[in-house]
Structure 1
């Protein structure tokens, strides 16, 4: 495997929203969504990376934190 890295910058709110999504997505064992298992592996890995970086998922008011993060990330509605 290559040692080359690709860095992606996310705001804290984007990271929280992505972590929440990946958690729900990865719980569903519907493998038909994937062309091959390595796609699933990458999503698991991203979820693990975010889990190491974020303290918010371990806070008692996590659902409120997610709600606020979604409000920040959400596009303005016309």
Structure 2
């Protein structure tokens, strides 16, 4: 598992997708987030009743989804995105 206190250089997309995607995959695996890319994240339907454990898991999944998006947004220039 990664240490979130360690600064990580995020690979910047420079137009060479194959190389960049390998670097991003490696980064996300090192951060323990690659499963979010493979499985994705879907919000439960409005009004879904969740017990405390399910709510905690949902909150964790939301946080991890935001972490993945954060890395991607940092890696891709605004003109490309």
TM-score range, shorter chain: 0.3 to 0.5
* Greater helix content: 1
TM (norm. structure 1) is 0.38
